[in-house]
Structure 1
Amino acid sequence: MERLANSVILSWGWKRALLAFVAGAIGALALPPLNVFAAMFVAFTLLVWLIDGAAGSPESGFFGRILPAFGIGWLFGFGYFVAGLWWLASPLLADPQFKWAVPLAVAGLPAFLAIFYGLAVALARLLWPDGIGRVAMLAVSFAVLEWLRSFVLTGFPWNAIGYTAMPIPIMMQPVRLIGVEGMTLLAVFVFAMPALLGTGKGARIGVTLAALLLAADFGYGYWAMQRFAARPGKSEISVRLVQPVTGLDEGDTDESRNAIFDKLLTLSKLPAEGGKKPDLIVWPETAIPFILTEKQEAFTRLADLLHDNQTLIAGTVRAEDAGPGSPRRYYNSAYVFDSEGQIVSAADKVHLVPFGEYMPFAGLLRSWGIDTIAALPGGYSAAVSPNLLTLPGGRQLYPLICYEAIFPDEIGPASARASALINLTNDIWFGRTPGAYQHFHQAQVTAVELGLPMIRSANSGISAIIAANGQIISGATIYTSGVVDSTFALKSVSSLNNSARGTNFWLLTVLIFLIAAFSRVSFIFR
């Protein structure tokens, strides 16, 4: 280990740059669907050794001293995000007019996201003590920069390092207490500890502490899994998830749109096991392939579909006339229909996908000929605030449309009134790539973090009922057209609110920072 560490620390030039890129790419193996948890130990061990050798010249000024560390962190992040997000080319390749943007998605976005990791490494290098202290400083820096990545420029926390530390439900449970940023903090702290074996300083206490944290993760996870296990209750409900697998090339004509609607109705009518009709039927994001209010006969067909005491929740596009002289507004929405086919509740998407659903700096970019990928002219408008979906009978669900499920910090206090989360998504854009698996995993973690079961309906998969402890009660495999029938309890469990999780995260961050600071003056951590 010492010989390997020295060769990495003393590496130079293109070999050093390639090693940093490869280390990040190795880390991406820990992401779904591979979930090679051990890959992160390799990635961060190499990163620590590379930072050890990234000292700038004292005479080169402040920026000159931190630039080598920033470069290592940026290359590490670039490798991680290219290997983890290459599938972003899939939605662009679906339409020939956007093929030019493939390099921007595959390399441009990772290059931008890698800046956060470059800054994290540069920040860590400013205070780079010996032994366990430098691992602690690296963990703090990554946690803070991942926290910034979750909201800067509307945020894109996809594939945060913390997710790689939660491949299975038993390892997800601490997220309930400290959030994904807190999991990132502890994950980097543990993942980087093997680096101490190569440099000798603080190895014994560091590896022992990492082992204790892993044991605590599994121990708390086992306890929480038992406590928050899905159990039958008074609020039990039977749900049917409809997974139609409607292709991107469908829905361009009135005939094809009618065929899609027919398919949704046919799947919804399939006989259930045991003969019991589901209480709730759920269609995915934008499942209804036309503006519903402009096709009144569709309401009649929905009324024919639904029996007494049955409810339908469906994703759709909602149109709103803004007034004379103003362009029409479109919203990515969810409707609740009662057994008579009437809309009794609705919610619009709040957090839109940049370039996919709306155009940032629209005027400037359109002058360059760059338009939104969204099918509708001008894209979508965003709701001002989230609105709970109210079912007949009074039970409420917290709607998360598409990738809103990866922003748990934006889920407001209204979630305390919800019996479950409901995630409607159309992951057909991802194709048969890791994107759909990554999206599902992050939604699964959100259910655990919020302490609420999740009803997830995806056009092409992965549709599932997820318990509040992260266990999958039932689900459908990707690209399988059909339905998922399940019965479970709409019951929330005790969970901390966002402010409490945030407080715990910052307290833990300060504690680990103190380890880094204390290691400069104490031989214990060296």
Structure 2
Amino acid sequence: MAGLRFAPHNLWPATLLGLAGLLALLARQRRPLGAAIVGGVFGLALFMPSLWWLFSGVDRSQEPVLALLGPLALIAGLSSLPAAVAALVGAARLPLSLRLTVLAPALWVSSEWLRHQGALAFPWLTVGYAQVPDGPLAGFAPLLGILGVSLATMVCAGWLAWAAVARQSRTRVAAVAVVVLVLVAGAAAGRIEWTTPSGKSVTAALLQGNAPMREKFSPEDTARALRTYGALAARSEAALVIMPETAFPLFEHQLPAGFQRFLEALAWARQGDMLVSYFRRRAEGTPYDYVSSTRSLGVSGNQVYDKQHLLPFGEFIPFARWLRPLYERMAKVRMLDTSPGAPHPGDLVLAGTRIALRMCYEDVFGNERREAVAQSQLLVTLVNDSWDGATAPMDQHLQISQARALEAGKPLLRAANTGWTVAIDHHGHVLDALPPQTVASLITRVEPRTGSTPYVLAGDALPMSLVALGLMVCALAETRARASARAGA
């Protein structure tokens, strides 16, 4: 049930009630092993239904067992984190109320923070996203980011679990009152306007070429992408034209002669700008060292942004010496290894507006590029979502983009290869959208905004400070509890 709040199901209370049910079950576990089993089963129930699309991205014709084990290994790895959290909660000698309302939330959010780190970082389905955009706890996103929303969700779940297992009716009423208070506080925080409108609204054309990943790199479909995006760009009269990530699946130097000049002439004719995306060599003479790149064409000058945070097993293979042979035996699409781009100094200026740009998987990490977000008036995300026709990853990634707009308090324009191509307001709500898996151009108007939310200024330091405080309190209480037990013995 906990996974039903994530897109595309969007059943708001499901995650909160599911987590409360998990903690209530843990309250009855007396051994760490039993608690770990409960947590692991919960993790499988959370991740398996929402990540089933991983199985559609592997080739089962050649290595059926390996193709099954690959996605299962990822889901099992994700499920091991709830198991570890549950085991630690079960092993603690703290009072039950403290274990449920402080220790479990702090450990859970710590596990989600770990999923944001390292070469294998995959913070998909972080619990906080379940509140975006309309859950009452989503109001904490501009204050504490998505990890802070996770923390608030887990705190509410802990108090609900305590209400379910407490013996005294007065205790149950007090626990429910705490939950109501947190929910009301989140809803009230969501009404705060952290940013203010700035300047005139911007008209933009977001182009969606609908090139499935399995076909995107064939010569025929590469030619089709050039024709499609060229025609969509030519028909648009917007001051800002935005194409998705690697709309042109070629190296920059492989683009047909005069094609980039044609696009630049279109932008200049409208006294506007155009964002195009392709692969680019970082230096001549290094054919295997290339980046996924975005370039602006038009009146604002030539500005380049190279993607910095890459998708594991989508754009590079972690621990390639050991994992590459296994990956290549089951992948449907033979991956092109890319390199991370150099850190970009700040925002871009397009159509007279300061823009913070993220490319696809970078959008999953709200703590990154905060300096550019603080300087910007508008967020732009270029996306290449395509998983062999599965729509669930598109829906889930859209929910992530809505969270980025909510955290920053600024509108977001999102151009996607197959979908969703949308305009999102500064509260995380979708203003305009194209149907997924169609060839079309979305003409939309957004109002740029200035200012910064507390989360943009401080990042994950805010929620993780609260987590650290909770863990310190629990560590002190655990030390005293064990000392008392030894003295009693």
User: Does the TM-score normalized on the shorter chain lie above 0.5?
Assistant: yes
The 1:105–1:437 alpha-carbon spacing in structure 2 relative to 1, beyond 3 Å, is farther
Q: CA deviation at 1:148?
A: 1.6
The 1:171–1:98 alpha-carbon spacing in structure 2 relative to 1, beyond 3 Å, is farther
Aligned to 2:114: 148
Q: CA deviation at 1:389?
A: 5.6
**2:262 alignment partner, one of 301, 308, 313:** 301
Aligned to 1:30: 5
Q: Measure the CA separation in 1 of the matches of 2:19 and 2:304.
A: 45
Q: CA deviation at 1:198?
A: 3.4
Amino acid of the residue matched to residue 69 of structure 1?
A
Q: CA deviation at 1:259?
A: 2.1
Amino acid of the residue matched to residue 140 of structure 2?
P
Q: Measure the CA separation in 1 of the matches of 2:234 and 2:457.
A: 43
Q: Measure the CA separation in 1 of the matches of 2:181 and 2:58.
A: 45
Aligned to 1:8: none
Amino acid of the residue matched to residue 299 of structure 1?
Q
Is 2:202 the counterpart of 1:216?
A: no
TM-score (normalised: structure 1): 0.81
Q: Measure the CA separation in 2 of the matches of 1:514 and 1:475.
A: 46
TM-score (normalised: structure 2): 0.87
Q: Deviations over 1:186-212 (max 9, x none)?
A: 101112433334323432211110011
5 Å-filtered alignment, 1:85-234, equals: 85-93=51-59, 101-127=66-92, 129-130=94-95, 132-136=97-101, 137-168=103-134, 171-201=137-167, 202-221=171-190, 223-224=191-192, 227=193, 231=197, 233-234=198-199
Q: Measure the CA separation in 2 of the matches of 1:100 and 1:292.
A: 39
The 1:200–1:169 alpha-carbon spacing in structure 2 relative to 1, beyond 3 Å, is closer
What stretches of structure 1 of length at least 5 have no aligned partner?
A: 1-25, 57-65, 272-276, 522-526
Contact kept, 8 Å, 2:208 with 2:438, in 1: the verdict is yes
Aligned to 1:16: none
5 Å-filtered alignment, 1:400-419, equals: 400-419=358-377
Q: CA deviation at 1:420?
A: 2.0
Contact kept, 8 Å, 1:322 with 1:329, in 2: the verdict is no
Q: CA deviation at 1:346?
A: 1.0
Q: Deviations over 1:143-179 (max 9, x none)?
A: 1211122114442111111112334276423111112
The 1:209–1:516 alpha-carbon spacing in structure 2 relative to 1, beyond 3 Å, is farther
Q: Measure the CA separation in 2 of the matches of 1:39 and 1:426.
A: 29
The 1:518–1:167 alpha-carbon spacing in structure 2 relative to 1, beyond 3 Å, is farther
Aligned to 1:423: 381
Q: Measure the CA separation in 1 of the matches of 2:259 and 2:317.
A: 32
SS of alignment partner, residue 385 of structure 1: coil
- Between 1:286-295 and 1:368-377, the stretch displaced more is 368-377
Aligned to 2:249: 289
Q: CA deviation at 1:48?
A: 2.0
Contact kept, 8 Å, 2:40 with 2:80, in 1: the verdict is yes
Q: CA deviation at 1:357?
A: 0.6
Contact kept, 8 Å, 1:146 with 1:157, in 2: the verdict is yes
Is 2:50 the counterpart of 1:53?
A: no
The 1:84–1:424 alpha-carbon spacing in structure 2 relative to 1, beyond 3 Å, is same
Q: Measure the CA separation in 1 of the matches of 2:352 and 2:332.
A: 34
5 Å-filtered alignment, 1:450-469, equals: 450-469=408-427
Is 2:344 the counterpart of 1:386?
A: yes
SS of alignment partner, residue 458 of structure 2: helix
Q: Measure the CA separation in 2 of the matches of 1:318 and 1:98.
A: 33
The 1:485–1:100 alpha-carbon spacing in structure 2 relative to 1, beyond 3 Å, is farther
Aligned to 2:292: 332
Identity across matched positions, percent: 23
Contact kept, 8 Å, 1:116 with 1:149, in 2: the verdict is no
The 1:122–1:187 alpha-carbon spacing in structure 2 relative to 1, beyond 3 Å, is same
Q: Measure the CA separation in 2 of the matches of 1:112 and 1:191.
A: 23
